[in-house]
A and B are shown apart, each in its own frame.
Chain A
Amino acid sequence: MRFHRRHVIKTGAAAGALLGMGMPRLARAQDAGTIRAVMHGDLRVFDPIWTTANITAYHGAMIYDTLFGLDGNFDVRPQMVQDYGVSEDGLTWSFRLRDGLGFSDGTPVTTADVIPSIRRWAARDGAGQHMMRRVRDIVAKDERVFEIQLTEPYGLVIDSLAKTSTPLCYIMRRQEAETDPNEQITTFIGSGPFTFNQDLTQPGNRYVYDKNPNYVPRDDAPSGMAGAKIVKVDRVIWENIDDAQTAMAALQTGEIDFMETPPIDFLPMLEADPNLTVQVLNTLGNVGWLRLNFLHPPFDRVEARQAMMHLLNQEDFLRATFGNPQYFRTCGSYLTCGTPMESDVNMDWFTQGPNPERARELFAAAGYDGRPVTILQATNIPFMDNSAQIVAQKLRSIGINVELAASDWGGVVTRRAVQAPPAEGGWNIFITWGGGNSVASPINLSGHAATGTDGWFGWPSDELHEQLRDEWAAAPTLEARQEVSRRMQENAWNFVPHLYLGQWVAPVAHSARLSGILAIPEIVPFWNIEKSA
């Protein structure tokens, strides 16, 4: 490389002089009013209720506002709501909207918009559905006041309205909110800090957001999804650069200002660049998941699922994809480490480390008959790609036959929905990850349900687990919830709904000219960011 480079510098000097003639140093001079960002994925769908894709939730946070917001300390604070209260019997929650709220088209935000927005969201969201089973009605008292009337006390009403795991309860205009939840809305007008500039947006290439001049921010200090959302630039452009190598190069040369997920191997290089800053925004990070199919052998047997706990070593997976231990940790807790729900009960399998011999015995006890275990491998996502290969290698090392079914992520999401046996198009194992904040809540994340074939892919089934999830939701205090979490973990690591492959943080890298970026789990906010000239 070095040799090549010097050689070209010498021989190419003439050409360089020509090309560089009269040109300012490259692309550094993007105007100060515009932030160009490369996010973790392409914004494919614009309706944040229709899809649970994270990037669409980010898009939602730009153009819509929420009733409540999670602040930087994970506390719930009112956002569009002025004040709220609950009746003594715990059955009636009443809310009053802030004065002067308006959509970017000039119409005011009223309860006639809010109530259908809550209903549409709740129809699609796991936590929303869980809450709605206890909701008798949602009624408007006047244009600014509404009530959620319950059939039994429920501990997660405002937590659900404030949650940052997708889909979020974004408030839309009545026209859009009354759309069938299974159909995509076609107009994107919200009361959020930005407006969506559809004329300049080119799907698959760039997505353009302009400052909403009519936005009415709160008075209190910005923190997380709460407080004053003041936009300090004119425009934010999400450039869709699919190739991480290219995106990183563009960041180094100043063609883009912000990269959400630079590959962790390159952080030292980016940190060394005086024009760039590397920063962890989401301290809870992500949790890798290994999902087992409960419907078919061998993982229909609990012994085989337990065998996986003794076979795998989280560190192998983390090191293979994230390299630097500074950015990852192993975690044996059922609910995310680093949250109040972390627990250490029933964790011998974790503290004692991998034991392949025990795993082999357990597979034998499960009656493993030599049929291949099918692992879905998403080759276009490095963590999933690498991890599938490691799982395969580990399984083979104890004499299990493995079939790696390689495809892109689109192929994995298609195939993981198939409930037929692996030989008929189904599967045994797939790998994904969840946001640390979502994984900490047994209610917010669909994957925590153990409701059998109605539930999330893998279809675990366990009555006690379901009972504990309900108890967790109804628990009135943090302490009570922690106590339920411990019982849930005790049970979970016996019946093994799934396994975790470790926890990692994904720092963002951005131009040193940006400041004031807020830390929020699972959302990247663009309000409050300043860009110096």
Chain B
Amino acid sequence: MAVALPETEARPKRGFARFARRNPTIVTGAVLLLFMALVALFAPLIAGDPLAITPINRLQAPSSEWWFGTDHLGRDVFARTVYGARVSLIVGLSVAIAAVVLGLVIGLLAGYYRGLDAVIMRVMDGLMAIPAILLAIALVALTRGGVLVVIIAITIPEVPRVVRLVRAVVLTAREQAYVEAAVATASSGLKILLRHILPNTVAPLIVQATYICASAILIESALSFLGAGVPPEIPTWGNMIASSRLFLQMAPWTVLFPGISLALVVLAINLVGDGLRDRLDPRLARRM
């Protein structure tokens, strides 16, 4: 998201400064995100081994040797925070992409083929009615953990929301004259979907994707907090906070650094999302 933004939005001739002045939230968010993405990408160059356990060095305060201190197993909090960016961003992006793609396909089908609509929407209503967090906890706790299961568990409840959004856009678009005309000239269903209806969904979906991404990162951390997340060996901000929360009073750095990173990333994504929404369609808010 961060990388794609300047390409689609900025008009090169007028300069970045002008764009930044007009869209301070997008730029702030994007810069933050870009920074986090770079950290995640180059983690091995920046930090040491996030898994190395040295019980003798447990709960050391931040110092020149351990910038962010060590946790209860004597692991380097800095290294774990840096590596933690990877999982959080991967989970956020994967869920956003998966939910949007699935939701788009199902939503287009439901909105366009009226016969399918009733069935699809009942199933979606059913899925939507199950509390997301409980579904995710149950899925992760009952199957054996792993990043993929977490991604699937978070994606499932997000899909119906995207479907509803897409379907609403399709229904509106269908009514409009150009689609009616296209139908009248007997274009194929697929062609109409792709050429005339799909473009209408792009703006709301981009905005929706940012919110899904932010909420996925938060849900991942909540799952880890409840002990049903990514396996604890893999450093994620969520399970760093979860496994260190006992030490909040004694060794606050074990919770503080992952907590701040988590809040910053979610904040950055929300800023980008808000900025995009304001730019793309101020009325979008109503439909969400």
Residues on A lying within 8 angstroms of B by beta carbon are 1, 244-245, 263, 265-266, 269, 315-316, 319-321, 323, 377, 379-380, 382, 385-386, 389-390, 392-393, 404-408, 410-411
Residues on the A chain within 8 Å of B56, using CB:
319
Residues on the A chain within 8 Å of B141, using CB:
407-408, 410-411
Residues on the B chain within 8 Å of A393, using CB:
51-53
Closest to B56 in A: A319
Query: In terms of DSSP, what is the predominant structure of the interface of chain B?
Result: loop
Residues on the A chain within 8 Å of B74, using CB:
320
Interchain Cβ contacts under 8 Å between A and B, 22 examples: A245-B246, A245-B248, A263-B246, A265-B59, A265-B247, A316-B55, A320-B72, A377-B232, A379-B227, A385-B243, A389-B73, A389-B233, A390-B55, A392-B233, A393-B51, A404-B231, A406-B144, A406-B145, A406-B231, A406-B232, A407-B145, A408-B228
Query: B196 at the A/B interface (Cβ < 8 Å)?
Result: no
Closest to A266 in B: B250
- A265-B72, A320-B72, A410-B141 are contacts. A379–B231 as well, Cβ < 8 Å? yes
- A389-B53, A390-B53, A411-B141 are contacts. A406–B246 as well, Cβ < 8 Å? no
Query: B249 at the A/B interface (Cβ < 8 Å)?
Result: yes
* A218–B243 alpha-carbon span in the complex (Å): 47
Q: Could you tell me the distance in whole angstroms from the C-beta of B71 to the nearest C-beta in chain A? A: 10
* One of A244, A315, A405 near B246 (C-beta < 8 A): A244
* A450–B243 alpha-carbon span in the complex (Å): 36
Query: B245 at the A/B interface (Cβ < 8 Å)?
Result: yes
Residues on the A chain within 8 Å of B245, using CB:
245
Contact check, B246 vs A411: say whether CB atoms are below 8 A apart.
Answer: no
Residues on the A chain within 8 Å of B52, using CB:
393
Residues on the A chain within 8 Å of B51, using CB:
389, 393
* A149–B231 alpha-carbon span in the complex (Å): 54
Contact check, B231 vs A320: say whether CB atoms are below 8 A apart.
Answer: no
* A347–B285 alpha-carbon span in the complex (Å): 71
Query: B174 at the A/B interface (Cβ < 8 Å)?
Result: no
Contact check, B233 vs A319: say whether CB atoms are below 8 A apart.
Answer: no
Query: B62 at the A/B interface (Cβ < 8 Å)?
Result: no
Contact check, A407 vs B144: say whether CB atoms are below 8 A apart.
Answer: yes
Contact check, A320 vs B73: say whether CB atoms are below 8 A apart.
Answer: yes
* A408–B58 alpha-carbon span in the complex (Å): 24
* A407–B64 alpha-carbon span in the complex (Å): 36
Closest to A313 in B: B55
Closest to A244 in B: B246
Q: Which residues in chain B, 56-111, are within 8 Å of chain A measured between CB atoms?
A: 56, 58-59, 72-74
* A269–B247 alpha-carbon span in the complex (Å): 12
Q: Which 3 A-B pairs give the minimum distances between C-beta atoms?
A: A406-B231, A319-B55, A380-B227
Among B59, B144, B247, the one with the most A-chain Cβ atoms within 10 Å of its Cβ is B144
- A319-B58, A320-B53, A404-B231 are contacts. A269–B246 as well, Cβ < 8 Å? no
Residues on the A chain within 8 Å of B248, using CB:
245
- A389-B232, A407-B144, A410-B141 are contacts. A320–B246 as well, Cβ < 8 Å? no
Contact check, B246 vs A404: say whether CB atoms are below 8 A apart.
Answer: no
* A319–B57 alpha-carbon span in the complex (Å): 10
Residues on the A chain within 8 Å of B73, using CB:
320, 386, 389-390
Among A315, A385, A407, the one with the most B-chain Cβ atoms within 10 Å of its Cβ is A407
Residues on the B chain within 8 Å of A1, using CB:
252
Contact check, A406 vs B55: say whether CB atoms are below 8 A apart.
Answer: no
Residues on the B chain within 8 Å of A245, using CB:
245-246, 248
* A323–B58 alpha-carbon span in the complex (Å): 8
Q: Could you tell me the distance in whole angstroms from the C-beta of A5 to the nearest C-beta in chain B? A: 11
Q: Could you tell me the distance in whole angstroms from the C-beta of B246 to the nearest C-beta in chain A? A: 5
- A393-B51, A410-B141, A411-B141 are contacts. A269–B250 as well, Cβ < 8 Å? yes
Q: Could you tell me the distance in whole angstroms from the C-beta of A397 to the nearest C-beta in chain B? A: 10
Contact check, B55 vs A379: say whether CB atoms are below 8 A apart.
Answer: no
Residues on the B chain within 8 Å of A323, using CB:
58-59, 72
Residues on the A chain within 8 Å of B243, using CB:
382, 385
Known: A316-B53, A321-B72, A392-B233. 11 other contacts (CB 8 A): A265-B59, A315-B55, A319-B56, A323-B72, A379-B145, A389-B73, A390-B55, A390-B73, A393-B52, A393-B53, A407-B145
Contact check, B53 vs A265: say whether CB atoms are below 8 A apart.
Answer: no
- A319-B58, A406-B145 are contacts. A265–B250 as well, Cβ < 8 Å? yes
Q: Could you tell me the distance in whole angstroms from the C-beta of A390 to the nearest C-beta in chain B? A: 6
Contact check, B233 vs A406: say whether CB atoms are below 8 A apart.
Answer: yes
Closest to A414 in B: B142
Closest to B224 in A: A379
Q: Could you tell me the distance in whole angstroms from the C-beta of B25 to the nearest C-beta in chain A? A: 26
Closest to A246 in B: B245
Residues on the B chain within 8 Å of A411, using CB:
141-142, 144
* A265–B145 alpha-carbon span in the complex (Å): 28
Residues on the A chain within 8 Å of B233, using CB:
377, 389, 392, 404, 406
Q: Which residues in chain B, 219-277, are within 8 Å of chain A measured between CB atoms?
A: 227-228, 231-233, 243, 245-250, 252
Q: Could you tell me the distance in whole angstroms from the C-beta of A376 to the nearest C-beta in chain B? A: 10
Q: Could you tell me the distance in whole angstroms from the C-beta of B192 to the nearest C-beta in chain A? A: 48
Residues on the B chain within 8 Å of A408, using CB:
141, 227-228
Among B58, B227, B250, B252, the one with the most A-chain Cβ atoms within 10 Å of its Cβ is B227
Residues on the B chain within 8 Å of A319, using CB:
55-56, 58
Residues on the A chain within 8 Å of B53, using CB:
316, 320, 389-390, 393
Q: Could you tell me the distance in whole angstroms from the C-beta of B170 to the nearest C-beta in chain A? A: 41
* A321–B243 alpha-carbon span in the complex (Å): 12
* A323–B231 alpha-carbon span in the complex (Å): 23
